[in-house]
Amino acid sequence: MAPQINPSILSADFARLSDEAKAVAGADWLHVDIMDNHFVPNLTLGVPVVESLARATDTPLDCHLMIEAPDRWAPQYVEAGAGSVTFHVEAAAAPVRLAREIRAKGARASMALRPATPIEPYEDLLPELDMLLIMTVEPGFGGQAFLDIMLPKIRRTRELISKHGLELWLQVDGGVSESTIERCADAGADVFVAGSAVYGADDPAEAVRALRDQAAAATGKASWACGH
């Protein structure tokens, strides 16, 4: 699969979300961070804003739920128009059941891991997912510095995906920029959430293209991608 770039509207101008979504029309997905001030110490957007965004852009919405009780709320984001919904395994009561419900409603099901959460205990869950998100910062705020200590975890996750022969996307979120995206791609990521690296650029659309080109070049040289 070609690398995908998902600009995060957490770094956009919230007063101009429709325009900001159009500014990255060439992106693969638009990443929408949902925070409830409980699971993480920040409060952002909810179902009504996702509904409005879905009407305002043709770019599919990738909703990342950093919230408590995702088992209750995640299906509502599918109904609001999200094409992919990510829940945190640390907050989910029944992750397999939730992933199946998200899929049954017509969206891609994704599971996220905080930096301190290991991937190994969840190996058997991977076939139930369409994407796995490795957080490369602590969730809750944009603009944080990339945690290099997450690179081995990305590699281990890619090895598990290959071991089981899964068509599972591997997403990274946090501190992704022109200076870090190649390391993430080399480690095994193929979906990249970029906030300030896109919306802090003079030309967000060009920033998306440049990041995708960087990721593609690194993937082409990566050992994990040989034969893919």
Please identify which of the residues 28, 62, 130, 173 carries the catalytic annotation.
173
Q: Which amino acid is at 217?
A: A
Catalytic annotation present for 148: no
173 labelled as ligand-binding?
yes
Contacts of 183 (CB under 8 A, 6+ apart): 148, 151, 218
The pair of structure tokens assigned to 90 is: 């640390």
106 annotated among ligand-binding-site residues: no
H-assigned helices in the chain: 17-22, 47-56, 70-80, 95-104, 151-163, 181-187, 196-199, 204-221
174 known ligand binder: yes
31 labeled part of a ligand binding site: yes
**Residue 83 assigned to a binding site:** no
Q: Which CA distances in Å does 135 have to 28, 140, 194? A: 19, 11, 12
Annotated binding-site residue? 142: yes
**13 has catalytic annotation:** no
Catalytic residue among 28, 33, 62, 130, which? Answer: 33
223 among the known binding-site residues?
no
Q: Known catalytic residues?
A: 33, 173
Q: Pick out the residues of the known binding site for a divalent metal cation.
A: 31, 33, 64, 173
Q: Pick out the residues of the known binding site for substrate.
A: 8, 64, 140-143, 173-175, 195-196
Q: Pick out the residues of the known binding site.
A: 8, 31, 33, 64, 140-143, 173-175, 195-196
